[in-house]
A = this chain, B = another copy of it.
Amino acid sequence: MAVVNMAAQPRVTPVILAGGSGTRLWPVSRRNFPKQFVPFSGEHTLFQQAALRFAPSDSQLFAPPVVVTADAFRFVVGEQLAGVGLSPTAILVEPMPRNTAPAVVAAALHLCAEDPDTLMLIAPSDHAIADAAAFHAAILRGMSAAESGQIVTFGICPDRPETGYGYLQLAHSPGAGGGPVPLAGFIEKPDAATAAALLAGGRHLWNAGLFMARADTFVAAFAAHAPECLNAVRAALLRGRADLGFLRLDADSFAAAPAISVDYAVMEHARNLVAVPFDGGWSDLGDWDAVWRAAGRGSTDGVVKRGPVTQIDCQNSLLHASDAGQVLVGIGLQDMIAVATPDAILVAPKARAQDVRRAVEVLKFTEAPQAETPRRMARPWGAAEVLTAGPGFRVNRLHINPRSALSLQSHQHRAEHWVVVAGSARVTLDGEQRSLIPNQSAYVPPHMLHRIENITTEPLEVIEVQSGSLIDDADVMRFEDPYARHVG
């Protein structure tokens, strides 16, 4: 056992990668609101669970996190951190998706500028870890190796011959204490026979993409193995700009970085790698089958339910209803997945979980909005939910956070009616300010300069009826925006 060293100074800065988006957890996860921001179990989203796993208050071990995310998700990140009472060290905003290598080196360069010796723990935001305390212990077991200039990878002890993951090959079997073992190599996703052999041999762990090293160790590894990535990201940081607590990387520079994973770019070439085995209930939640597996531990019939779900005689199935007003009923299901959202429903056998991405491709091809965009969209000031729409009109429910404001804006083609149904609003109409409480409304004709604000500490809910010849998100001229969005 490693000795727990409770230094006065936190010793590890978690770097949470929150920019990704997959399609295999559709319809709950969509390109415009991916899985890490969704609660799959319990009250917190995966991203919040990842952040809480390294919460400074729980342990002297961790500094506040660095989060690397996409432009579209920066306000969700801020809001979800605030929702669990956490403040980040930094939120780095990627101008476009470039996979994990540029994200990791951006965090490393940012932390290096302050203290090259900072220990960084690279963690995806969309994985589940059942036993956080066991993970903390694994981190402590790897710490002196990381401090001495090694890159520590946390390898997951496999419990089945999984063909969907890459494997870490150890130089020798791990000892009982679970201390670091030199890494002999990476193995790509194996076929079934190979996976069974790897499992039986006891010298292979799953590669979960969890790495720890000093900031300068990471930078040196990139300098040695991926200098073009390092240079592009360094330029993007230098030319980046601070913006409302976000650090936006420069788009032109960042565009020059290759879109490549940190494994391919650096880890598979580095020689200073060790692995610390981890056996505390890890899951990548990569598809609905994995969500079922992670949540199904210990249930007798294997039925995993979330939301308003009714089941009769089901077994080994996942029933997930994301909306309180939408009931999902499963009868006699065996090894099935059924997922309901207000605008899209998925039904498939668990064994076909990988093919959800094919369905999303079909929906994209038919230009169904459900392919990528959820009905409820996060906004810097809260969320907007489309309730209904028809020719020439759209009805939204706006959830406006305390002390938040929409931009001062106008529309060419549409008028808007606002009816406050909860909380209190301050509206600005052609320069005049008014307060609206529930039961009160305001009308905004086309071309009128208008804004709606929540200056209170309570949430504000507004029903907005848009009507006009053109109902389009592009018909917004912004004149003053606290969130520095596109000024048209």
Contacts and interface: CB of A to CB of B under 8 A. Distances in A.
Interface in A311-362: 312-313, 321, 325-333, 336, 338, 340, 342-349, 351-352, 355-356, 358-359, 362
Nearest to A466: B421
A463 interface: yes
A342 B345 contact: no
Given A395-B397, A421-B392, A342 B340 contact: no
Interface of A: 27, 308, 310, 312-313, 321, 325-333, 336, 338, 340, 342-349, 351-352, 355-356, 358-359, 362-363, 366, 368, 370, 385, 387-393, 395, 397, 415, 417, 419, 421-422, 438-439, 441, 443, 445, 461, 463, 465, 467-468
Contact of A351 (B332, B443, B467): B332
B346 A332 contact: no
A326 B342 contact: yes
Main secondary structure of the interface of A (DSSP, over half): strand
Contacts of A313: 352, 355
A445 B388 CA distance: 25
B352 A422 contact: no
Given A422-B391, A438-B392, A331 B352 contact: yes
Contacts of A343: 325-327
B465 A359 contact: no
20 contacts: A321-B345, A326-B344, A327-B343, A327-B344, A328-B347, A329-B345, A330-B348, A331-B346, A331-B349, A331-B352, A331-B356, A332-B349, A333-B348, A338-B347, A347-B347, A395-B421, A417-B419, A421-B467, A441-B443, A463-B463
A417 B390 contact: no
A74 B385 CA distance: 36
B359 A461 contact: no
B422 A329 contact: no
A70 B24 CA distance: 47
A467 B347 contact: no
Contacts of A393: 421-422, 438, 461, 463
Contacts of A326: 342-345
A250 B231 CA distance: 88
Given A325-B343, A329-B347, A463-B465, 10 more contacts: A310-B359, A329-B346, A331-B355, A338-B345, A340-B340, A342-B342, A385-B388, A393-B461, A421-B465, A421-B467
